[in-house]
Chain A
Amino acid sequence: MTLIDYLTVVLLLAGAIFFFAGTVGLLRFPDVYTRLHALTKADNVGLGLMVVALAIQAESWAAVGKLLLIWLLVMLAGASVAHLVARGALRRGIRPWKQ
């Protein structure tokens, strides 16, 4: 294994930790707003780390570009959808959780 391979493994594991934390948050947090908060971390940072891990293994710059595009699109969609879900919940009168 080369240095690049080790770096990939480290980045993938770091990404997996974010996904794991996001999933635990989704399952354990008390209300829709805090769950969304947990979920977007996994989407943005977790996927970002995985994309970087795969990008340094990619064989061509085109593949790197596609991977980055996927990440950007997921961030865009994830952030927007999280906002829309939270907005919908607020409009339906769901109060944010307070201790």
Chain B
Amino acid sequence: METVMVAWMFDSLLGLGLLWLAWQSLACSDLFKAIVLFIAFGLLMALAWVRLEAPDVALAEAAIGAGLTGALLMVALAQLQSIETNGDAAVATVKKGHCIRPLQWLLLIALSLMATGLGYVIISFPAHVPGLSTAVATHLEASGVSNPVTAVLLNFRGYDTLLELVVLLLALLGVWSLGGTVPQQTTTPAPLVLEALTRLLVPMLILTAAYLLWVGAHAPGGAFQAGSVLAAAGVLLLLIGRHPRAALMALPLRLILVLGPATFVAMAVVTMLIEGALLKFPPEHAGKLILLLETTAMLSIGATLAALFLGGRRHTDKEHS
């Protein structure tokens, strides 16, 4: 009884904290503060996923939602500020732009109605719905892995993951095609402490990524979590000014970026021809095939996220200077 009470109190605090952080992050006029609040929101969200017994999602939320998205927002803010100091009025108006009041009220009412509807739907659900978990459990044997989440993501619903990889790639292409970003002007050497920290952390991050990838077969982990850890190593290296050489930025980077999606598509075509269905793996080889898919996906995800952090900067450096 006591533990139920404590858990209930903890969950309520967590829920209220999430709502408050979300509100503060949106309502805050200082963009830097809003980003910090957003990162805190991501960390609490990861905790909420743990409470919902979804450690796979919690890992992904902490690594991508809080960590890498935070870094991306920070770098975007830095670029925004350097554009502003260069006297670009358009950005300033976007930042200060505010809606008309009646429209806000209309939005508030519409969103409240939607939230109430969604809340009602959730409450009206029976407490325990098996959903597809029994179907997954009965076929887990044939999936080649023993972690049901990995089985669903890479085997039963493999095309979802394929499309997710393509979405990531498209996001990077979008950033690249925007171009015109401000070249980085600060060439001051990175702080020694940051450099020492990076030297210590990067090998550890690579090891952690490999561990997450391997452990994904039977416990929480997998390509997305491992890829974002790799990307974190890339972000650290970029922060201390270890930019990859221009020769590496051209073809090799592009090859790594498409490696994951390309392997996935090739696998889809081959399984279509042999097994007669998209991404239907023969059970005796499924484990190895999934590991291959996850490894290539991890490399691509890591490279894509790190390249997103780098933004269009290097690209424009090369063409304009």
Taking a contact as CB atoms under 8 Å apart, the answer to whether B191 and A77 are in contact is no
Judge whether B197 is part of the interface by a CB distance below 8 angstroms: yes
**Shortest Cβ distance from B197 into A: residue:** A80
Q: Name the prevailing secondary structure of the B interface residues.
A: helix
Taking a contact as CB atoms under 8 Å apart, the answer to whether B200 and A84 are in contact is no
Judge whether B7 is part of the interface by a CB distance below 8 angstroms: no
Q: Which of B193, B200, B201, B204 contacts A83 (CB 8 A)?
A: B193
Chain B residue contacts of A76, Cβ below 8 A:
197, 200-201
Q: Quote the shortest CB–CB distance from A93 to chain B (angstroms).
A: 16
Judge whether B110 is part of the interface by a CB distance below 8 angstroms: no
Interface string of A76-89 (1 = CB under 8 A from B): 11001001100100
Chain A residue contacts of B200, Cβ below 8 A:
76
> Complex formed: what's the CA distance from A87 to B194 in Å?
11
**Shortest Cβ distance from A79 into B: residue:** B193
Chain A residue contacts of B194, Cβ below 8 A:
80, 84
> Complex formed: what's the CA distance from A80 to B200 in Å?
12
Q: In chain B between 171 and 196, which residues have their CB closer than 8 angstroms to a CB of chain A? A: 191, 193-194, 196
> Complex formed: what's the CA distance from A87 to B190 in Å?
12
Q: Quote the shortest CB–CB distance from B74 to chain A (angstroms).
A: 13
**Shortest Cβ distance from B188 into A: residue:** A91
Q: Quote the shortest CB–CB distance from B307 to chain A (angstroms).
A: 24
How many of chain B's residues have a CB under 8 angstroms from any CB in A? 8
> Complex formed: what's the CA distance from A87 to B197 in Å?
15
Most buried by B among A76, A77, A80, A83: A80
**Shortest Cβ distance from A81 into B: residue:** B197
> Complex formed: what's the CA distance from A83 to B196 in Å?
12
Q: Quote the shortest CB–CB distance from B273 to chain A (angstroms).
A: 44
> Complex formed: what's the CA distance from A83 to B192 in Å?
10
Q: In chain A between 57 and 92, which residues have their CB closer than 8 angstroms to a CB of chain B? A: 73, 76-77, 80, 83-84, 87
**Shortest Cβ distance from A69 into B: residue:** B204
> Complex formed: what's the CA distance from A80 to B201 in Å?
12
> Complex formed: what's the CA distance from A87 to B191 in Å?
9
Chain A residue contacts of B196, Cβ below 8 A:
80
Q: Quote the shortest CB–CB distance from B309 to chain A (angstroms).
A: 18
Chain B residue contacts of A83, Cβ below 8 A:
191, 193
> Complex formed: what's the CA distance from A76 to B200 in Å?
9
Q: In chain B between 197 and 216, which residues have their CB closer than 8 angstroms to a CB of chain A? A: 197, 200-201, 204
Q: Quote the shortest CB–CB distance from B185 to chain A (angstroms).
A: 16
Q: Quote the shortest CB–CB distance from B61 to chain A (angstroms).
A: 18
Chain B residue contacts of A84, Cβ below 8 A:
191, 193-194
Q: Quote the shortest CB–CB distance from B2 to chain A (angstroms).
A: 14
Chain B residue contacts of A73, Cβ below 8 A:
204
Q: Quote the shortest CB–CB distance from B196 to chain A (angstroms).
A: 8
What are 17 A-B pairs with beta-carbon distances under 8 A? A73-B204, A76-B197, A76-B200, A76-B201, A77-B197, A77-B201, A80-B193, A80-B194, A80-B196, A80-B197, A83-B191, A83-B193, A84-B191, A84-B193, A84-B194, A87-B191, A87-B193
Interfacial residues, chain A to chain B (CB-CB below 8 A): 73, 76-77, 80, 83-84, 87
Instruction: A77-B201, A84-B193, A84-B194 are known; give 14 further A-B pairs, CB within 8 A.
Output: A73-B204, A76-B197, A76-B200, A76-B201, A77-B197, A80-B193, A80-B194, A80-B196, A80-B197, A83-B191, A83-B193, A84-B191, A87-B191, A87-B193
Which 8 pairs, one residue from A and one from B, show the smallest C-beta to C-beta distance? A80-B197, A83-B193, A80-B193, A87-B191, A84-B194, A84-B191, A84-B193, A76-B200
